[in-house]
């Protein structure tokens, strides 16, 4: 089939490459000339494991092309996927749909023959109805269906997730659109369920799923706090909980709070929609507030550590800036948020902050600028540090030899917000080690 995808970001590009790989003819469209120039020159514009190779392969075999022209992509298309950004409004946190609607008006002018317009971007419930009206108004002759096709790819694992979806949700009541989408995803016959629902249910599934996962993370983070106080180990607790298939093992990793371009935005947008409809989503609300509070607390713990040092100058080493491992993305990264809280708290304390991340330095620099130092290597970051905080769970951090870390650092304080280090080794080496939800084994004084 001929597929046009508008938007070549973390959703659009991996989806386009995946669809090309399963045999479709794909045109990726982006209005940013520099992005399209780079892609045409074979340069992948974002870091995503396995994307580079697959993109080159499909580009060379002529199954994927890149253009800034909506006309060029849409005229040929059986299906147009909208994968443009829906950034949150700075005050209300309502999803900003100007890019979605702008794209739809342009699409409407160039539709030829029956076409499906599907939203891959996360859009508020009811957006499909608005798009339908907008296209009808712009081009009353157009023959089309608007479908909700929510995306469940995780950044960093997008290529893997494209080929191994847990489900493909299709929101439409049109049988014509349903058979078209079945054809688009025929590669997944017998591999993943196609789940057909109404358009509004499709739109809701996306918000309800992301909010549920955010609540799950917030819950295990609170359980971690509980474990720290009560003398239990959250990794053992989460492992034991997860063995119950009703709970499941995934998304029970405690950490510095959830981040990224999706959970923070989608939870807030869902709360906004609930408020508009006089519904109380108290669990989502608690997760949002608790998550924000958590990052402030971590910053405070670091500031308290620096104050306790009581030195004329000090250094904090930060390992990890991306919002999670496997990506260069720093949008709503807990690491960046924590540093943004911490830096003003360190005023007057003569503390240098040095950070290392193999993939995310460039993106972090655009947000934090010259407020911190960016180390070229882990060794440089750790050299003479009084304290170390781990904020992203990159595998290379997990594999660090703690004896080497000890030799490089001046101090012994570690705040391991991703539990990457072995608690026993850290303690044996004399580190003042603090994991998340990890406590020194509890001795029952009554025994
Ligand atoms: C998330 C969803 O997982 C995808 O299904 C969805 O398609 C995507 O949002 C989206 O809406 O586009 P993503 O934001 O890439 O994907 O990242 P996740 O892997 O879900 O992680 C989100 C945040 O939660 C990260 O900060 C991560 O470190 C944190 N997290 C995740 C935890 O703290 N603990 C966990 O157990 C899992």
> pLDDT per residue over 159-179, tens digit each?
999 999 999 999 998 999 999
Using DSSP's 3-state secondary structure scheme, residue 368 falls into helix
Q: What is the pLDDT of residues 239-272, one digit of tens each?
A: 999 999 999 999 999 999 999 999 999 999 999 9
pLDDT at 45: 81
To which H or E segment does residue 223 belong? helix 199-230
Atom of ligand 1 at shortest range from CA of 334: 26
| Residues flanking ligand 1, CB < 6 Å | 122, 151-155, 210, 213, 217, 251-253, 255, 258-260, 262-263, 323-324
Distance 165 CA to ligand 1 centre (A): 15
Say if residues 328 and 359 touch (Cβ distance below 8 Å). yes
C-alpha dihedral (426, 430, 431, 437), degrees to nearest 10:
60
Q: What is the pLDDT of residues 361-390, one digit of tens each?
A: 999 999 999 999 999 999 999 999 999 999
pLDDT averaged over every residue in the chain? 95
Cα–Cα distance for residue pair 270/268, rounded to 1 Å: 5
Using DSSP's 3-state secondary structure scheme, residue 114 falls into coil
Q: Is 320 left (phi over 0), alpha (psi -120 to 50) or beta?
A: left
pLDDT at 37: 94
φ, ψ of residue 23 to 5 degrees: the values are 105, 5
C-alpha distances (whole Å) from 384 to each of 26, 104, 352, 407, 411 are 52, 55, 11, 9, 7
Say if residues 129 and 148 touch (Cβ distance below 8 Å). no
Cα–Cα distance for residue pair 91/296, rounded to 1 Å: 20
Tokens of 382: 């750790």
Atom of ligand 1 at shortest range from CA of 329: 15
28 is catalytic: no
Active-site residue among 28, 180, 227, 262?
262
Query: What is the CB neighbour count within 10 angstroms for residue 184?
Result: 23
Mutate to test the pocket of ligand 1, among 158, 166, 208, 213 (most ligand atoms within 8 A of CB): 213
Residue position matching structure tokens 């749909």: 97
Q: What is the pLDDT of residues 265-321, one digit of tens each?
A: 999 999 999 999 999 999 999 999 999 999 999 999 999 999 999 899 999 999 999
In this structure, which residue's CA is closest to atom 12 in ligand 1? Answer: 262
For residue 446, name the pLDDT band (cuts at 50, 70, 90): very low
φ, ψ of residue 348 to 5 degrees: the values are 85, -5
C-alpha dihedral (192, 194, 199, 202), degrees to nearest 10:
-20
pLDDT at 440: 63
pLDDT at 447: 40
pLDDT at 215: 98
Q: What is the pLDDT of residues 112-150, one digit of tens each?
A: 999 999 999 899 999 999 999 999 999 999 999 999 999
Q: What is the pLDDT of residues 338-355, one digit of tens each?
A: 999 999 999 999 999 999
Q: What is the pLDDT of residues 2-50, one digit of tens each?
A: 999 999 998 999 999 999 999 999 999 999 999 999 999 988 888 889 9
Q: What is the pLDDT of residues 41-97, one digit of tens each?
A: 988 888 889 999 999 999 999 999 999 999 999 999 999 999 998 888 888 888 889
- Kindly state the DSSP code that residue 94 receives in the 8-state scheme: P
For residue 441, name the pLDDT band (cuts at 50, 70, 90): low
Write out the E strands in 237-278: none
Give the closest residue to 254 by CA, choosing from 219, 229, 289.
Answer: 219
To which H or E segment does residue 197 belong? strand 194-197
Share of the chain above pLDDT 90, in %: 92
Q: What's the pTM value of the predicted model, to 2 decimals?
A: 0.94
């Amino acid at each position: 089939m001929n597929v046009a995808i508008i938007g070549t970001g973390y959703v659009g590009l991996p989806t386009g490459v995946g669809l090309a790989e399963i045999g479709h003819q794909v045109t990726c469209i982006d209005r940013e000339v520099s992005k399209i120039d780079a892609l045409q020159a074979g340069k992948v514009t974002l870091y995503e494991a396995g994307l580079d190779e697959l993109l080159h392969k499909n580009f060379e075999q002529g199954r994927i092309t890149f253009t800034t022209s909506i006309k060029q992509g849409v005229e040929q298309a059986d299906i147009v996927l909208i994968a443009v950004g829906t950034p949150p409004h700075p005050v209300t946190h309502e999803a900003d749909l100007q890019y979605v609607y702008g794209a739809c008006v342009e699409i409407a002018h160039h539709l030829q023959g029956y076409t499906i317009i599907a939203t891959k971007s996360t859009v508020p419930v009811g957006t499909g109805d608005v798009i339908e009206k907008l296209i009808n108004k712009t081009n009353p002759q157009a023959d089309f269906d608007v479908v909700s096709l929510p995306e469940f790819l995780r950044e960093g694992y997008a290529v893997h997730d494209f080929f191994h979806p847990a489900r493909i949700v299709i929101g439409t009541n049109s049988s014509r659109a349903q058979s078209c989408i079945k054809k688009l995803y025929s590669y997944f016959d017998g591999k993943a369920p196609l789940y057909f629902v109404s358009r509004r249910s499709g739109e809701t599934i996306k918000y309800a799923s992301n909010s549920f996962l955010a609540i799950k993370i917030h819950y295990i983070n609170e359980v971690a706090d509980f474990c720290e106080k009560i003398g239990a180990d959250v990794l053992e607790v989460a492992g034991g909980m997860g063995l119950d298939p009703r709970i499941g093992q995934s998304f029970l990793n405690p950490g510095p709070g959830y981040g990224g371009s999706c959970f923070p935005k989608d939870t807030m947008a869902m709360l906004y929609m609930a408020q508009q409809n006089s519904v109380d989503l108290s669990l989502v609300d608690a997760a949002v507030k608790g998550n924000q509070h958590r990052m402030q607390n971590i910053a405070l713990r670091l500031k308290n550590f620096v104050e306790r040092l009581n030195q004329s100058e000090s250094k904090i080493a930060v390992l990890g800036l991306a919002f999670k491992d496997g990506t260069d993305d720093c949008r709503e990264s807990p690491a960046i948020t924590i540093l943004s809280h911490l830096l003003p708290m360190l005023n007057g304390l003569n503390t240098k902050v040095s950070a290392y991340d193999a993939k995310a330095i460039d993106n972090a620099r655009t947000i934090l600028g010259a407020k911190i130092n960016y180390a070229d290597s882990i060794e440089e970051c750790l050299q003479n540090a009084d304290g170390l905080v781990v904020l992203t769970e990159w595998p290379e951090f997990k594999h660090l030899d703690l004896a080497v870390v000890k030799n490089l650092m001046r101090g012994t304080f570690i705040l391991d917000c991703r539990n990457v280090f072995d608690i026993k080794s850290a303690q044996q080496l004399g580190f003042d080690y603090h994991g998340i939800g990890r406590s020194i084994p509890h001795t029952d004084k009554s025994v």
